[in-house]
Structure 1
Amino acid sequence: MSSQRSIVLGDRTIELGRELLIDARGDIVPLRPRAWLLLRLLATRAGQLVSKDEIMDEVWPDCEVTEDSLVHAIGDVRRALGDSNRSALRTLPRRGYMLAISGGPNAGAELSIAATLAPADPGEPATSSEVPRLSLVVLPFVNLGGDPEHEYFVDGVTDSLTTDLSRIAGALVISRSTAFTFKQKVADVREIGRELNVRYVLEGSVQCGSSRFRLNVRLTDTQTRNCVWADRFDKQVADLLDMQDEIVSRLANALNSELINVEARRAERSLRPDAVDLYFQGRAFLNKGVTSIFMARARDFFERALALDPDGIEAAVAAAQVDVSVGSSFMTDDGPIRFHTAEKALNGILLRAPNHPRAHMLLGAVKIRTDRAADGVAECYRALALDRNLADAHGFIGLGKYVLERGEDVQGHIQEALRLSPRDTRAFLWLMFVGMAKLMIKTDVEALRWLRRSIEANPNHALSHFHLAGALAMMGKLKEAGSRAEAGMALDRSFTIRRYRTNVFRFENPEWMARLARLYEGMRKAGIPEG
């Protein structure tokens, strides 16, 4: 470290020797441990560009994290520096960050450096340590069968899961090398939590027989020792490497959803929720389904989170998802405005976080819904290259193939999404995409089956009811069509055939357009208002 011990930045002083940030009154400004490491690194290199890779290596040497963690830490540092000094921490898009040393009146805060060669006082209090949200360690899974030949498979599941869970937005996952020091050791989860400063421990066991494979997994809160989630996989033995990929993907997707729910419930008990608390509560509503009430509640939480933390990437992405979902579900007449708003926001996010998988995926969804389906599909594939477990990207690719009039291809993409995340909160949308594709290629009985599955997966999605009502009426099943239409109108009383016809896709294939015309007529017969 540099010999410089004290850096004055406007009304803040960075005490490198004591590892403290002090305000004008001499009070300690609280900083989380990783945020302090980031600030210290930038302060010792003040006036120099520090690349993102350098920061990741220095601040998270023992963890597997995504670039989202860096964005969160930058936001923490900016807030700690205060409004008058925030501009001193400069972002150089796609390159890194710099703590500005000096400049004219428009160059941000002035920095003056005072050299203090006295060593740090070991008795000084360090910055308080807080257990990070979404922090966990994947302990080495146990090979119950004891067969040495299966040991590589069991360790491989642990290793891959550690890597894939680190892709969860905002997650901090202890590195494999640290986690494997606990292999074949009996340790209390609370002690592990204290030693590694993590909130959750994931444990598992694997048993491979001659024909069956069984995996048990459990997620435990290190502070309460309570099991917050458990699951079991039991299936026929196949190729172990293929099984490993499938198991890891399913676990990662299930854990992503469960961790959001757990953190949202924890945030509800907070008397003074911060931006992250509000984000988790918004995500919980976003995951419940596409209804006007759920979307409004989600948007409120995300807007409150962004008011507290304007640099919050995840809240910004989630807010864009609300616009995409509302526009895609025909809940308002301003669908094009919603898509334009979402696209503008997502492009801005990708300037700051160019490798954000969900931002690429949602941008792809917007392009699919705005007559740029081929570009949208490519954007979704880009998202999958960044996060192979992003099942929703496969779902949107299926929608893109539907828009491109390749109805026969849709089911395969949706089945891949379901393979990765069979109990996904958005599976109802994927199932609806297949139902609509089947309707367009005139396999009507299959269309009904997929549309019914969509409603079974989530009965609170009005558009699935409207599609099924129209399809049933097309086939002469008017009584059931009427009941489905009533169920849809109970969820969205503003829906009209006019709104749907105005905002739905335009196909070049005249046969597909004729099928759409029949669907409109079916909706009328089912009792859906023309508007």
Structure 2
Amino acid sequence: MDRTNREHSLTGERPERRLAAVLAADVAGYSRLMGLDEEGTLARLKAVRKALVDPAIASHRGRIVKTTGDGMLVEFVSAVDAARCAVEIQKGMAEQNGSVPPNTRIEFRIGIHIGDIIFDDNDIFGDGVNIAARLEGRADAGGVCISDDAYRQVRGKVEIAFDDLGPQALKNIAEPMRAWRVRFGGQGAATLTPVSETSALALPDKPSIAVLPFQNMSGDPEQEYFADGMVEDIITELSRIKGLLVIARNSSFTYKGQSVDIKKVAGELGVRYVLEGSVRRAGNRIRVTAQLIEAQGGGHVWAERYDRDLVDIFDLQDEITRSLVSTIQTEMILLEGSLAERTTTPNLKIWDMAKRAYPQFYGLTRESLTKAGELARAMIAADPTSPEGHRLLSLVDSHLVFMGFTRKPEKLKKEALESIQTALSIVENNEHSNWALGLVLGFLDEKYDQAGAAFKRAIEINPNFSLAYGAYGTVLAYAGRAEESIEKNQYAIRLNPRDPSIFFRYSGLSIAYFILSDFQQSLKWATLSVERKPDWWLARALMAASLVQLDRKNEGLEAAKALLQKAPNISLHALPIEPVRPAAAKKLFYESLGEAGIPA
């Protein structure tokens, strides 16, 4: 029984109850901000309230019940007023924060609920207040989280989009409650919103293209890899053009086997052009059809059919790519000559084996990586002078180590380095080889400067190489350069918004925000990573540590328990790699994991 109910039970008075919309808000990372600059933070918070927050509340008929340093409790007569006020505040804050460094921004978290409250002495109490406060804790920095009761009142009445968060277990609330998150977009977004399957991306300020998987017309399912391999190579060649934004293979291939609406696909990937086509292989002959579509108008810009001998496949790929470039060349902001010439003529047999092997690698499970490793060794045996097998073996070994899928990490680390050095000695100017080298140096050997140089070289060769941007972002976080890390990971997500391995980008962002002591954001990205890859140990560890730092220890204990269920051999002294590496953040991370129940 709360204080007000106890007092009324003694006096015999019946408390005043009423239905109200309650908004609870606080400043994300307030303690960290105060630690950085106490007087400056107070002055900026006061200025923000005077210029933006208080006027917004007044204009939407709200009443400030009380303030608590970094937080406030506000009562509204309707959920519609509360929601509109919250969005106005968050959009205004996002605009103000546009030029402010991430680690010094004042960002509010807002929770809204409509329900029965107790009114006493100008203060309000009861579950209606408690639920709003709990939802505020579930909101992102710069975000708004509302209850299902509030959502039912506002849907159809406000021009606000919502994402369903599902049932949420709220502290001291008996039953889980469904919650909704306001979806911010465009320049009004307070933080980077992960790309969902239905959200549209803004077009970049340069020509942009997505190459969809070509349809296999051979009548033989075994030839599927052949059609996919052709498309992968076309994407790679297009990606090397600096004046063109090219969506990565892993995002384009999420549409494989679907009957797609080109305009919708272009919106989801944020591109102007889409290339689609088909491949028919019969014996030693291949027929390829391709058509380039301008997505907004739906018009066919260019179409062609090619009949070739199989031995001409690489010339055919180059011909298709060059035709595409010449078609959109007039729009290119920067086109430095033509496509890079191939440094070696590919071995068709090795190419064929590689296209069968990489789908196994992309599976990113213990079993699929093991299978990819077997295929890599077969490639090396078939032609040790080709870089392909050596490169793939290094990538497999690195992923087996840092994903925690091996009990012999030292042996695989050594083999990964030797394999990629061999690949680079055969062909030096390959983006995938330089990326693989960066993984070994940065993730396994903690040589951050050398790893950074390798990633930069990969990006020089292929300016659209999302995997190199993302891996570089994580290595920057390891090196303590968290703001740069966030920027690189965000750009990697833009280039590859539907990547099945996007959980790596999300955990990289979680690491960066943990280093910045923004534990709400760290938890957000770790949670998204776990949703995409439930057995990804690193994201679960970041979840547990972030929850402890947010004073949500019971949830942290549950997160640690789930981690140990997925990876029972995990301990503080037996992590596959160091997830957080700058000294101060590392110490805090391990202390937090210990508090969450991870054994020493």
The normalised TM-score by structure 1 is 0.49
The normalised TM-score by structure 2 is 0.44
